[in-house]
Structure 1
Amino acid sequence: MRLAQAERQHLHNLARHAAHPHRGKSAPEPEPVRPTVLRLLEQLGESPAYVLNRANRMVAANPSGLALLVGIDQWEPERRNSLRYLFLHPSARTLFVRWRQVAQESVAHLRSTFGDNPCDRELTALVEELSSRSEEFDAMWRRNLVQPKSGGVKSFNHPAVGRMDLAYEALDVSGAPQRIVVYQAPPGSPDEDAMRLLAHVAREQRTEVTS
């Protein structure tokens, strides 16, 4: 079939769950983010960072991480999802310089996750919601592209700080269906200056909310 490694693994996952459908039953809600992970977010300082669960719901973030995704804080915490934001939030298309590329890569990653967790209720509900509300998501999802992604570079056109090209890493949290996404910039670069300005803006916004 000339499948790539990720596509072959995805096919094996689907076959395994088809043969043993009860093994994939949705697990209980994962435990809250561990205190050690929350401390790590704080210690990352000016680097935007957040924690996503298996379905890409944002379950924790440092101030810069929350400020990076413009307007996501306007949603209730349970609706803060990086895929939902990408396709349904009006700010996403101007925030991401290469929106379509980011969207396609995110959908391919979601397809990979879904293949190993086809009975996860939150994942299923997210796919159903986005398929019904976004024609672009539905078209990308139907392409059946599979590609796990754990790092790369994203370009932002942030209304508060301007253009930033930030490298990111997605790191699995041991013992939990969660991953930490951390953004960074080369020391001394204009991107680092923009990232530091974002941290300053985030601190100001946090002070306004708490005062």
Structure 2
Amino acid sequence: MGEFLRARRAELTPQVVGLPTETTARRVPGLRREEVARLAAISTDYYRRVEQGRMTASGPVLAELARVLRLDVDQRSYLFELAGKPAGAPRATPSRTISPQLRRLLDQLPEAPALVLGEGMDILAWNSLAAALITDFARIPEPERNYVRLIFTDPAMRTLYPDWTDVARKAVTNLHMDVARHPDDPRLTELVAELSQLDTDFRHWWHGQHVESKGQGTKRFHHPLVGDLTLDWDTLICDTAPDQYVIVLTAQPGTPSHDALRALACL
């Protein structure tokens, strides 16, 4: 167990797991014990005793260590075998297929921007008004079509959202919830690592450990064609696809924002 854990943490760098880059040389290759412990939300002493073979980690802790150390399916199974613990059945891959009924719902909302998000806030589908309001999602390669990545990597989002900081922080808190539900998903792990490297704000907010579930609220937009809009957003859960949900944006009839949405629909 100790040899396996030491070998795996030696293969990683602080940058890969989203830790700040150090200016001084490191005395050991890869991650330190205390860094692995912090990322796995356990004490350094607990991790040290596990690595030294002086105690056996619980199943949830082993799952966290597998996530932190970026273990693949075979390595994860091996880790559980070393500990004498059942690894559990692999989690089913979340569906990325949109039902015809849901697709029809999006298309029949002519005055309401709407999009379907999946696990980790992947953008799975959208209607034409959502693309007109936010961005042309079709231009983004499918593997990169993720709402959190879009917020942090597309400079246009900082202009589109006057309250970009609030929007970005909420996206991070929502992503935290998805990662907590699916700690063994390598795509989510890679997304967090990528954005931690690319953006200091993301890295700071991610380590803040704030969480918030999806629900409803208000967003302000500054659109290049129709100007300023204030829209209410609601979350609709798909019973037939628990990892999918619909975000619908609406405006109170008779308001300038409602008129702007209708103008954008005409354009």
TM bin, normalised by shorter chain, reads 0.7 to 0.9
- TM, length-normalised to structure 2: 0.65
Change (3 A) 1:75 1:31: closer
Cα distance between partner residues in 1 of 2:228 and 2:89: 42
Change (3 A) 1:197 1:118: same
1:37 aligns with one of 102, 123, 130: 102
1:50-77 deviations in Å (ceiling 9; x for gaps): 1011111111110011222135443223
Q: Which residue of 2 aligns with 1:197?
A: 263
Equivalent AA in structure 2 for residue 119 of structure 1: D
Equivalent AA in structure 2 for residue 30 of structure 1: S
Cα distance between partner residues in 2 of 1:39 and 1:58: 17
SS of equivalent residue, structure 2 residue 135: coil
- Unaligned regions of 5+ residues in structure 1, if any? 1-10, 202-211
Matching of residue 85 in structure 1 with residue 127 in structure 2: no
Q: Which residue of 1 aligns with 2:33?
A: none
Checking the alignment, whether the CA contact within 8 Å between 1:155 and 1:164 is kept in structure 2 is: yes
1:153-180 deviations in Å (ceiling 9; x for gaps): 0000011111000000111111311110
- TM, length-normalised to structure 1: 0.82
Stretch deviating more after TM superposition (16-25 or 79-88): 16-25
State, as a whole percentage, how many aligned pairs show the same letter.
Answer: 34
Q: Which residue of 2 aligns with 1:118?
A: 183
2:236 aligns with one of 162, 168, 171: 171
Q: Which residue of 1 aligns with 2:11?
A: none
Cα distance between partner residues in 1 of 2:127 and 2:161: 20
Stretch deviating more after TM superposition (181-190 or 65-74): 65-74
Q: Which residue of 1 aligns with 2:195?
A: 130
Stretch deviating more after TM superposition (186-195 or 114-123): 114-123
Q: Identify the structure with the greater strand proportion.
A: 1
- Name which structure has the greater RCO, CA cutoff 8 Å, separation 6+: 1
Cα distance between partner residues in 1 of 2:215 and 2:197: 27
- Unaligned regions of 5+ residues in structure 2, if any? 1-40, 42-57, 64-86
Checking the alignment, whether the CA contact within 8 Å between 1:70 and 1:95 is kept in structure 2 is: no
1:124-172 deviations in Å (ceiling 9; x for gaps): 2211111111111111101000111211000000111110000001111
Q: Which residue of 2 aligns with 1:50?
A: 115
SS of equivalent residue, structure 2 residue 93: coil
Checking the alignment, whether the CA contact within 8 Å between 2:96 and 2:118 is kept in structure 1 is: no
Cα distance between partner residues in 2 of 1:24 and 1:188: 53
Q: Which has the larger radius of gyration?
A: 2
Counterparts of 1:57-72 in structure 2, within 5 Å, are 57-72=122-137
Q: How far apart are residue 23 of structure 1 and its match?
A: 4.7
Change (3 A) 1:18 1:70: same
Change (3 A) 1:157 1:175: same
1:54-104 deviations in Å (ceiling 9; x for gaps): 111111110011222135443223322110110000101010010001111
RMSD: 2.1
Q: Which residue of 2 aligns with 1:104?
A: 169
Q: Which residue of 2 aligns with 1:18?
A: 60
Cα distance between partner residues in 1 of 2:184 and 2:137: 27
Q: Which residue of 1 aligns with 2:215?
A: 150
SS of equivalent residue, structure 2 residue 124: strand
Cα distance between partner residues in 2 of 1:60 and 1:26: 23
